[in-house]
């Protein structure tokens, strides 16, 4: 694909191209992205997550469903994801509906994780106040000791969330950064049809 992002006919091809390249260019967390949500009073929030799967269905990441993001994303079932590649001068913005993914997929992913990450997910009341680092470490140790030699099952409040895109924007300054005449191509879903348009930078 040339640098002209308007040649893409769908957002998934664009994502696949840029993400494959990003993995070659960036050693640490090429899959890091911001997920945004709003709380019940419409206050915005955003935090970094790691994208674990992308398909035609959408963008999947894993988290604690009882965390602040979990509560906020599911209070209106809407979410937003922003991925940025400094190396490629590209950003991808995804707006859509959120859903929990199938338990069986979350189970498989949880089982593939490092045991220490499984323990952390099991003890973490993500986004709640914890008294100190010592308390956290003690809870980790206690859980590890109590479950030594046992398979750690996925906690019910931990699993995958998919953002199902309704609008995906690709921004690129690959052609000419100096003029700020950047390219913005947006794919929008309406009546089950994706349309593509170009936006002013």
Ligand X SMILES: Cc1cc2nc3c(=O)[nH]c(=O)nc-3n(C[C@H](O)[C@H](O)[C@H](O)COP(=O)(O)O)c2cc1C
8 is a site residue for ligand X (CB under 6 A): no
Among 10, 23, 25, 48, binds ligand X (CB under 6 A): 48
187 close to 157: Cβ distance less than 8 angstroms? no
| Least distance CB 127 / ligand X (angstroms) | 3
| Rounded Cα distance, 90 and 124, in Å | 34
Q: The tokens of 37 are what?
A: 């949500």
Among 61, 83, 110, 187, binds ligand X (CB under 6 A): 61
- The stretch among 10-18, 19-27, 59-67, 159-167 that binds ligand X (CB under 6 A) is 59-67
Among 49, 60, 81, 92, binds ligand X (CB under 6 A): 49
Nearest to 122 by CA among 102, 143, 97, 141: 143
98 close to 161: Cβ distance less than 8 angstroms? yes
| Rounded Cα distance, 123 and 148, in Å | 15
Q: The tokens of 174 are what?
A: 């690959």
Among 57, 120, 127, 157, binds ligand X (CB under 6 A): 127
55 is a site residue for ligand X (CB under 6 A): no
| Least distance CB 50 / ligand X (angstroms) | 4
**Please, which residue, 5 or 162, has the CB nearer to ligand X?**
162
């Amino acid at each position: 694909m040339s640098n002209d992002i308007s040649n893409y006919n769908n957002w998934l091809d664009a994502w696949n191209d840029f993400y494959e390249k990003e993995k070659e260019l960036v050693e640490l967390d090429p899959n890091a992205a911001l997920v945004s949500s709003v709380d019940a009073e419409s206050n915005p929030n955003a935090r970094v997550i790691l994208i674990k799967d992308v398909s035609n269905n959408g963008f999947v990441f894993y988290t604690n469903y009882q965390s602040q993001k979990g509560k906020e994303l599911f209070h209106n079932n809407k979410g937003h994801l922003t991925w940025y590649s400094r190396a490629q001068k590209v950003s991808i913005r995804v707006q859509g509906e959120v859903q929990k993914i199938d338990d069986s997929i979350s189970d498989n992913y949880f089982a593939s994780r490092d045991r220490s990450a499984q323990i952390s997910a099991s003890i973490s009341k993500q986004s709640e106040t914890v008294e100190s680092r010592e308390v956290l470490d003690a809870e980790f140790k206690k859980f590890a000791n109590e479950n030594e030699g046992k398979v750690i099952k996925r906690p019910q409040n931990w699993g995958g969330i998919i953002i199902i895109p309704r609008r995906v924007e690709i921004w690129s300054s690959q052609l000419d950064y100096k003029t700020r005449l950047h390219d913005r191509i947006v794919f929008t879903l309406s009546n089950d049809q994706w349309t593509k348009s170009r936006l002013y930078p």
